[in-house]
Amino acid sequence: MPYTAPVSEFDFLYRHVVGLDRVTATDRYAEATPDMVTAILTEAGKMAETVLAPLNRVGDQTGARLENGVVRTSPGFAEGYRAIAEGGYIGMSADVENGGLGLPMAVTTAVNEMIGSACLSLQLNPLMTQGQIEALEHHASDALKVLYLPKLISGEWCGTMNLTEAQAGSDVGALRTKAEPNDDGTYAITGQKIYISWGDNDFSENVCHLVLARLPDGVPGTKGISLFLVPKFIPDAGGAPGKRNSLGVVSLEHKMGLHGSPTAVMQYDGATGWMVGKPHGGMAAMFTMMNNARLGVGVQGISVAEGAYQHALAYAMDRKQGRSPVDGGTGTIIDHADVRRMLAQMKAETFAARALALDNAVSIDMGHATGEEAWKARAALLTPVTKAHGTQTGIDVSQLGIQVHGGMGYIEETGAAQFLRDVRVTAIYEGTNGIQAMDLVARKMMDGGAAMFALLDEVDETAQQGDHAGLAEAAKSLRSATQTLVAMEMNDRFAGAMPYLTAVARVLGGHYHLKASLAEGGTGPRSRLAQVFLARLLPEAHGLLAQATAGAADLYGLTAEELSA
């Protein structure tokens, strides 16, 4: 599937919407000059367009398979992975002392989006490794860091995360995997994990699994869980992959999409592992990786949205059907108002979600660079919104892409359906979108809404600069709804959590679009796109906030029997 990397769009957002200059003005990221960033994005974009994009359809049609216990990846994936690794794109934000480039997460986020747009099935692999790198940087012993980080950063080795078990699902605390201490300071890991993305491959020297397990003295629930690094091959004294560990792939899941990404059931039979972090502190260590992945998975949704939009736009500009309703039209279906509406919505939604993800990444970078709690709180607040809304945007835009194609969108040969099949699982990855929404109205509101109110102050300033009453009114409604939620019982908050999160995304989307319009002086193409979002999508916030503050009584008014009737 052809793909054009939106490098100029990233550049515009960096300069005019999310303020990357604040990041590069810090000592930590001073070397990430605008010229360097543009050069990196340009080269990554070329790789995505020429090397990775041709693999997208290949991976869908010839997916990964398990043969006699060995995972065989899709044709060309080994070469595609090698291009990603050799380009240095896996360790872009990793510490320089371990072989990383030390670049801002905002730059990594853009590169990850382009790789995901080109071939999401393959991009899942380096995304998991990036998360493991961050977890090890923060929580591993010096010995583990020295041994594993350079290999993971270079791409010689790959990383995974092993949380889910069949009986536990999202209730991670119900896991049964055990960790028994060995005499040499290692642990014997025994249990089975499911849904392990890229649990194995045939192109890296080693696969390193971060596995949640319970020590013999671990209490029930999440507080008794520890985290262990369990490699496929146990490294020897020189760091080379040595003896095969006692773990393996039981089977690969048969999935709706992402056929090129092997999703494994992993079995550990007394496998040798090393503890990462403190005993019974596994969830804290794993959340470092999960938060990294939540931003990354939100970006995956945006990746697919961009790909689906480009695919639908090309079809609409080529497909001739009916008479053009406009003078001087092209004669193709892009002349029709409803098709134009869908394409405009797809583009506006993708722009807003991309700006949200980059704003989130900038907040993470500023938190790292300055240590200021306000930036850390801002990043924490934006993370569940980015994950949930980014993935939902991917789903919504992909569905519209099928609709633009009409009947041909339902035919697999056109490729339109693959976008929806591939992106659908991202709303489930790394904590379902409902869990993200509950996190937003619970943990992220433990400050009484202070972080949200600070964010809304920014929106108010933009609305004032743009003299936009609609955005100002939406921000006011969101502020009021936040105050109402904070005062509600928790289950009443949960009942409205998802519409609340979507309303937050709508208001922030209006904020980003208006900032873009202001940067153009109100006359450029992004200004006209902003008019679409502000007039057609922002008003949805008011209805969503009515749902968000409705409480849970009506939902529980229906009995289980009545729901079954």
Q: Which residue has the tokens 């039979």?
A: 269
pTM above 0.75, yes or no: yes
pLDDT for the residue 324: 87
Task: Measure CA 129 to chain center.
Answer: 14
Question: What is the distance between the alpha carbons of residues 118 and 53, in angstroms, rounded to a whole number?
Answer: 4
CB 288: neighbour CB atoms within 10 A? 20
Please, are residues 547 and 477 in contact by the beta-carbon 8 Å criterion? no
Question: What is the distance between the alpha carbons of residues 509 and 521, in angstroms, rounded to a whole number?
Answer: 18
What token pair was written down for 283? 């969830």
Question: What is the distance between the alpha carbons of residues 415 and 401, in angstroms, rounded to a whole number?
Answer: 10
Burial 184-220 (b: 16+ CB within 10 A, else e): eebbbbbbbbbbbbbbbbebbebbbbbbbbbbeebee
Instruction: Measure Cα distances from 177 to 244, 262, 418, 544 in Å.
Output: 20, 22, 35, 41
Nearest 5 degrees, angle CA 373-CA 442-CA 349? 80
**DSSP symbols for 318-346:** T---S--SSTT--SSGGGSHHHHHHHHHH
- How many CA atoms are closer than 13 Å to the CA of 507, on its beta-carbon side? 34
pLDDT for the residue 293: 84
CB 33: neighbour CB atoms within 10 A? 11
Picking from 251, 248, 360, the residue whose alpha carbon sits closest to that of residue 302 is 360
pLDDT for the residue 426: 97
What token pair was written down for 557? 């008014």
Please, are residues 80 and 145 in contact by the beta-carbon 8 Å criterion? no
pLDDT for the residue 217: 94
pLDDT for the residue 291: 77
In a structure prediction context, what are the per-residue pLDDT tens digits for the chain, which is 565 residues long? 789 999 999 999 999 999 999 999 999 999 999 999 999 999 999 999 999 999 999 999 999 999 998 999 999 999 999 999 999 999 999 999 999 999 999 999 999 999 999 999 999 999 999 999 999 999 999 999 999 999 999 999 999 999 899 887 777 778 999 999 999 999 999 999 999 999 999 999 999 999 999 999 999 988 999 999 999 999 998 889 999 999 999 999 999 999 999 999 999 999 999 999 999 999 888 777 777 789 999 999 999 999 999 999 999 999 998 888 998 888 999 999 999 999 999 999 999 999 999 999 999 999 999 999 999 999 999 999 999 999 999 999 999 999 999 999 999 999 999 999 999 999 999 889 999 999 999 999 999 999 999 999 999 999 999 999 999 999 999 999 999 999 999 999 999 999 999 999 999 999 999 999 999 999 999 999 999 999 999 999 999 999 999 999 999 999 989 999 8
Q: Which residue has the tokens 């990850």?
A: 112
In 3-state terms, what secondary structure has residue 66?
strand
What token pair was written down for 35? 């010229």
Work out the burial of residue 482: count CB atoms within 10 Å of its CB; fewer than 13 is exposed, 13-18 middle, 19 or more buried. Answer: buried
What token pair was written down for 220? 């029930």
pLDDT for the residue 495: 98
pLDDT for the residue 14: 98
Question: What is the distance between the alpha carbons of residues 99 and 146, in angstroms, rounded to a whole number?
Answer: 10
Work out the burial of residue 405: count CB atoms within 10 Å of its CB; fewer than 13 is exposed, 13-18 middle, 19 or more buried. Answer: buried
Q: Which residue has the tokens 């030390």?
A: 102
pLDDT for the residue 57: 97
Burial 98-112 (b: 16+ CB within 10 A, else e): bbbbbbbbbbbbbbb
Question: What is the distance between the alpha carbons of residues 141 and 145, in angstroms, rounded to a whole number?
Answer: 6
Catalytic residues, by residue number, are 430
Q: Are strands 157-162 and 206-214 parallel, antiparallel or unpaired?
A: parallel
Helices (H), 371-415: 373-405
**DSSP symbols for 282-294:** HHHHHHHHHHHHH
Question: What is the distance between the alpha carbons of residues 86 and 22, in angstroms, rounded to a whole number?
Answer: 29
pLDDT for the residue 323: 87
CA dihedral 445, 448, 453, 454 (to 10 degrees): -90
